[in-house]
Structure 1
């Protein structure tokens, strides 16, 4: 028999770990050398764990391994450079806003949003947010941003420009003022609109590159709410839920019409002539009228929604529109009931006609009325939610957590 050495046999790491002898019960563990293995890139736990024993031996332990460490998402924040900040669109936030809040809103808007690396939040397509960056005093003054917005997220997105807006549009539209040389289009425009929604929710602002225009949406301007649920509630039942708090709430079909305008003498004469048959209508108009009357008499009235009206604030009202909808907002796409029947209970704020909620800045009276109305609408949404369940979103389709303890 030949004594020549044979070539070494190749064995996989998995096979080697499977034949590791178990550790003796008397061997004390060494906390400096203990380690575990888990499936790479997943969250599934293996049924075995291993540690390095004396002499460098791999020791097999009959215990479950913990989850692997999560992906590092955020690096230590550094001060942003002025040139880098000026060359990109910025989402400006206060230092109190956590990166998890930015991520939650991004996931509520974009299907594929998530962390692609430390400090890089992927939005969709080629768009991403990089940050957070610190905005020091010198950079803030150069950018012309508010003193409390000391956190910046840089938008990484290809620029797409359309035609320049006219002077009339620039006077009325904030985006036109931010892009006087050419309006953003395509992905860039859609991302900027979504960032404005995020800025309103987080009491932040957007600074446009180039012009340096700062867009600061009013966080208190989002007053209306919507409740999405798989449950349909009849009008009388919902009225019964709301009346203890809103005693004058009523079905919109029971609301009397406004006092009609008195017709002029000429209008009265023309109506009388039509009733008496002294005015000849075209034959196709007569057939259409007769067909409409016949259908109204034969076909039953089908109601697939209803609306309730209640006073809120001092001089405003809330319109609660109830209807079935085909889809839910993006933020609710993971709800188990979102693939079935979905009912929308939308609570719309209808301010008094004398107020001008779209004017800026608002008067003190308008702000107080809006604040009182928002409080009442939130209470009404809480009552609806307590009956139908589901989820509540704001005007920007972001999730809202209501305090229904009372």
Structure 2
């Protein structure tokens, strides 16, 4: 079990510039969530490898949010927060399938919470495909969907095929909302051709023997990768080839339904992934930036211009943003803030985005006990471990990789954030 407080103090101005011209609400909405996708491993975010050419095409006509934060570092709580615009302490999806000690604690989020799909169902035909069992009907993620499938932990091709089976229904829809959750590039990483050959050799990746280690045993590989930088490099190469792989299927889906024309497209992730930046592999076990800093790309209908936004936003902001664009009042439960608004016939980046939240919640994917708190501002990040009573303080503006703990050098700032 993990406990943390995630607070964002966002005061300031987004650039107040026109981004899209369309007052017509007759557009489709496409939400693409990609599991375990690190923001700094996408080429549209400046990564050295060309991992995401299809996503890049969307980004070239969209808004790239440089500082999007996930409300958890693993899937179920993050996605429940996205669909309800409340934090895990509010929606109650904490343990998911990871809680094996007492299966009665595998939570479904409350019936009192209205989901994004339930709101959109009044004007849209709703379709959802999720390739992650944590996002199944059992936990409430099918609520509000006219058509829904959960495909265990399958790779991208069956996900697209499931959507293609609804092709007639999608094309007959006056308006549709489509949610797609791809499992790739989640561990266990596979060597995806032809991209892996651009990054390393198949022979070297086979030596990693990942097929013998499940997700729950990933921590056992840490000593091996600490001792062998080349092996770690090959592990990252596998991960990057998986990003290329899922990106190719995102592109295929976009082209199949011509979604790049008249659709609101949102591409994001549930969390990131660690590669020993702070001594850990995977996710769900810490609150460092590599696991909670995620991509967020928003392409508005008929948009042709790229914008870059550096202010902080959160997955809980997605639901109110979509509803604000549609001139629909969000449910009373909503804790997120819309980051876009419509003025007349134009969409604009919202001028002011203020947030002062303090949210405490539990989450677990590994049945490991840990108690953590983090507070993030535009410049500072404070972490506290209740179990061993240790503090960390980072200037994430000058030290985005969180390499230099300033807790002993800046007690004044620590005290401000406690």
TM-score (structure 2 length as normaliser): 0.20
Highest RCO, 1 vs 2 (Cα 8 Å, sep ≥ 6):
2
With normalisation by structure 1, the TM-score equals 0.20
Query: Larger Rg: 1 or 2?
Result: 1
